[in-house]
Amino acid sequence: MNHEILKTSEIRFLLGEQEVNIDFSVSNYKPTTTLLQYLRSLPDRKSVKEGCAEGDCGACTVVFAEIKGNALKYKAVNSCIVFLASVHGKQILTVEDLGKGKHLHPIQEAMVEEDAGQCGFCTPGFTMSIFGLYKNNNEPEKSDIETALSGNLCRCTGYRPILDAAERACIYKGMDKFTGKEHQIFQQLTEIKSNKEILFLKTEQNQYYLPFSLSDLLHLKKENPHALLAGGTSDIALRVTKKKENLPLIIDISQLDELKTISKNDNIMFFGAGCSLEDVRIACEKEFPSLFSILSVFGSLPVRNNATISGNIGSASPISDTLPVLMALDASLEIQNIHGKREQKIEDFIVGYRKTTLSSDEIITRIKIPFQDKNNILKSYKVSKRRDLDISTVNAGFMLNINNRGLVESIKLVYGGMAAFTKRATQTEKSLLNKEWCRENVENALKNIQNDFSPISDARAGAEARQLLAENLLLKFWNETRI
């Protein structure tokens, strides 16, 4: 494959019902221009607001309609952390598309009737988050509404009428003016996505690849070993919006349906590397409740709709919310390059502060989570200043197996936020093996946590506080699992 002969290509998407083509070679936009910046540059899309530029406030929320199987799937996303190049083949909807004047959408009518507008700055974002719920959940419970709005902040603290408006609106079972046009939109998006040739988006400052097959992706990574891989861009977009970096070479995996599959056999559940964290969360609710629990407090729904499971693992952050529980679950990775595959336990994959064993020509293709022994008890924990949309101070994933004599047969105590990378409290584990699972033994084991970790002090907590949190989480685990 010789990518030197590829000509600069354009992206195509629908903005409302209008098809948009952007050729970056003649455009003022860059592939890494955020969707928010693009929309704000248009004369008739001023509803989207920049409040934080990091996916934290929801003022820029829009809804994507995407092809999933044989239907359209609607999802709310933060446009401030989405690269413009990645919207190829999608329909973008903002509050301007819902209704105007006397022809309001049921959500807009409910917002008016419940006096949910207040100052109005955040109102379009709330409206679009409710729209995502409206199109996906016909009879939402209160918890569903709160989850849908977890990524939206109201500066006037007018949450109650907004919640009431959401409940009032979502009685129409997703039916609205978009319903009758979904077949047409599906056909338009299908035509856009029918071209499977690699898109090579080039400007004076950027080279941005959009492959559509795993084979093309592997060859691109071989030929561009220093390229930055982008999935959901929920993390790397901050390098653009906050640090003002120029990212000169990117390979975007967001168009690869091969990497978005979820399947299982008798022993293992498989998640494609491109699966969104929300898709993973929904799929693992029954099989892996400890992972479901931690993902339920990962960012917000718009963040989870965009972020990928492989991105969270591959970033190797010491406070990654998924890593402790995945390690406790004994999860492994399928890793590929053009020469073949290899498999590695996630526990061995992370080797230092944001360092992994991944070679420059390799990519993560699948995450494998084995189904657990019926006697295994698994729990996940997150300590943060806010329940939603906050980085962990300390997090943990624990696994316990007690034999029929009441003794600890096996145990894993995995912590994040306690070292330069997520790691097990091995000395603490050894001190509990083959002992009765009782408070006295657990309290005696706590002193070993000081030998396992030497945490640092930072803006989120002091070293002493982290040590105490780690000890208390183990005590909490015992209290929740005692016989």
- How many Cα atoms sit within 13 Å of 73 on the Cβ side? 11
pLDDT in tens, 46-78: 999 999 999 999 999 999 999 999 999 999 999
pLDDT in tens, 354-396: 999 999 999 999 999 999 999 999 999 999 998 888 899 999 9
CB atoms closer than 10 angstroms to residue 223: 16
Decide: 393 and 469 in contact? Cβ < 8 Å. Answer: yes
Exposed / middle / buried, residue 99 (Cβ in 10 Å: 0-12, 13-18, 19+) = middle
pLDDT in tens, 157-210: 889 999 999 999 999 889 999 999 999 999 999 999 998 999 999 999 999 999
pTM of the entire structure? Answer: 0.95
pLDDT in tens, 85-126: 999 999 999 999 999 888 899 999 999 999 998 899 999 999
DSSP code of 482?
Answer: -
Residue 260 has pLDDT above 80, yes or no: yes
pLDDT in tens, 391-422: 999 999 999 999 999 999 999 999 999 999 99
Domains of the chain, earliest start first? 3-95+180-252 (3.10.20.30), 106-176 (1.10.150.120), 261-481 (3.30.390.50)
Spatial distance between the Cα atoms of 308 and 311, rounded to a whole number of angstroms = 5
